[in-house]
Structure 1
């Protein structure tokens, strides 16, 4: 009886009236969501085909409901049907009309998220992986590459450990996209490689790191490509954790060099470098020991990095009325909205915080060198940076309470702290 009702619903779904199609698709969604519903062999093919057809419906409401139908449908139909739907959606994605690509991408992500059986996943991946690799190749449009990278990121996040046979091919395909001229492609590529890295062998992880470091050392690289590769290093360390430790000797000196040698206008490069160093401190505490003093020096230097603002600017405000005409003339030259140096100060504060929480043996040194600098930065003009400064200072105080007796003279540290506050207040 249930199958007869489904046939009636499917017939209405192909009607000319969009309201009838919408109501019929809604009815199908309700039926598919019932635990008791299990279609017969011939019916699951019919349902699958019509739902895929509805994805291209002229009515956005109908196609949206069809996407929702896929989630329960994947769990109701046979493995063969799931594989067929995946292949058809890939074809829509790679060869279909532009207006249908977004829906096909969402539908594919839905199927990927709903496949729970390892057996089904393995069958789907055998077909899906080569098509996604094709979709991210240079011959495809930016839009197709972005959609395929989004899907691949989801696939790797869920099933990366089932794809070991394809890891090297995937890695090579993705590494080639780090040099794309399109920022949207590079951004998604970084996410994909990070997702892949979690299941890579040590050898392939080393290969990925060596390649990115080579790109970083390339003198002729465009600034935006260099920034992407620095982001890639940070993303790798966040993805694999302590496994990145053996590669710090190749990466840390490069990042420190970029921080110190970057031009005054390249705040993002410094920001990304400091973020990567923060990740190393938190995830590779043993292997980073050799570089902690240098990273501390760097953090203390850049927590005050504000090339467009000096302390005497506030004193100069008394003379604003006399210089109003000059200000009007230079108004177009620079505005606060263009100033992103705060990102560097924020990254430096967080990097300093990472040193504080991960290096208890450096607490005495931190009180002497970092505490005065943090108190000085309480005057920070950007509120979000000021909060990070406060959080870092609070963490310094908290770590003092966590230090075991005998490891550090806590009373001495408190006296240093009180003296610093008195000096700052005066």
Structure 2
């Protein structure tokens, strides 16, 4: 009886929570609502099945929120949602993330979308496997962008894919290994431009000595 009452209460407040999240008027209220929604989805995700579509539509716009804390909580909530949502809802989510990654509107939002893909992979595992053929080339592409934070999120996504979808990742392993070997020697605190300038100066000095 207690669990039935809890489920009924959750159903009644879901619409109010999604409304509070969508308004974006008061960030503190928004963050609280996202926390409560995440908790409900983690405990009673299946019970809220009929609300999954409206929850998804409420959460997706939060991934572009100017507040990083809102984005982070939206990713957590989506991670809980994919544990119990239907195949159609899951496909809708992944297609949205793919479209936004292709758009690459800003480095900041691209980082968020890659974090979201990795978060979904950690939670839903095998479910993202069938979408990897489209996702991997985009993540590889962003590995080559000169942004250390973005690159780190890309490798976190690869790690999650390898752990959760080893079979689907098998054909991509050589490519990922190549990227790992390329960047394992990269030191973000070292100024590689200075090294190139020094090499050029040494070459020029050597030529001057030969001419002298």
TM-score normalised over the length of structure 1: 0.44
Residue matched to 2:181: 300
Q: Map Cα deviations across residues 283-335 of structure 1 (whole Å, 9 max, x no partner).
A: 0011111111000001111111114327999xxxxxxxxxxxxxxxxxxxxxx
Residue matched to 2:128: 244
CA drift at 1:224: 1.3
Alignment match of 2:67 (pick from 177, 182, 201): 182
- Partner secondary structure for residue 116 of structure 2: helix
Q: Return the alpha-carbon distance in structure 1 between the equivalents of residues 108 and 67 of structure 2.
A: 10
Residue matched to 1:203: 88
Equivalences for residues 50-61 of structure 1 within 5 A: none
CA drift at 1:169: 0.7
Q: Map Cα deviations across residues 46-77 of structure 1 (whole Å, 9 max, x no partner).
A: xxxxxxxxxxxxxxxxxxxxxxxxxxxxxxxx
Contact 2:148/2:188 (8 A) holds in 1: no
CA drift at 1:138: 3.1
- Partner secondary structure for residue 137 of structure 1: helix
Q: Return the alpha-carbon distance in structure 1 between the equivalents of residues 103 and 23 of structure 2.
A: 22
Q: Map Cα deviations across residues 335-360 of structure 1 (whole Å, 9 max, x no partner).
A: xxxxxxxxxxxxxxxxxxxxxxxxxx
CA drift at 1:121: 2.0
Residue matched to 1:170: 55
Larger Rg: 1
Equivalences for residues 23-422 of structure 1 within 5 A: 117-219=2-104, 221-260=105-144, 262-263=145-146, 266-309=147-190
- Aligned CA RMSD, in angstroms, stands at 1.8
CA drift at 1:118: 2.8
Assess, with a 3 A threshold, how the Cα gap between structure 1 residues 122 and 257 changes in structure 2: closer, same or farther.
same
Q: Map Cα deviations across residues 113-171 of structure 1 (whole Å, 9 max, x no partner).
A: xxxx3311221122110110011013431111111001111111111111110001101
Contact 2:125/2:165 (8 A) holds in 1: yes
Q: Return the alpha-carbon distance in structure 2 between the equivalents of residues 179 and 233 of structure 1.
A: 14
Q: Return the alpha-carbon distance in structure 2 between the equivalents of residues 152 and 139 of structure 1.
A: 15
Q: Return the alpha-carbon distance in structure 1 between the equivalents of residues 11 and 79 of structure 2.
A: 21
Aligned residues: 194
Q: Map Cα deviations across residues 268-297 of structure 1 (whole Å, 9 max, x no partner).
A: 100001000110001001111111100000
Contact 2:83/2:124 (8 A) holds in 1: yes
TM-score normalised over the length of structure 2: 0.87
Q: Return the alpha-carbon distance in structure 1 between the equivalents of residues 160 and 108 of structure 2.
A: 21
CA drift at 1:173: 0.6
Q: Return the alpha-carbon distance in structure 1 between the equivalents of residues 188 and 118 of structure 2.
A: 26
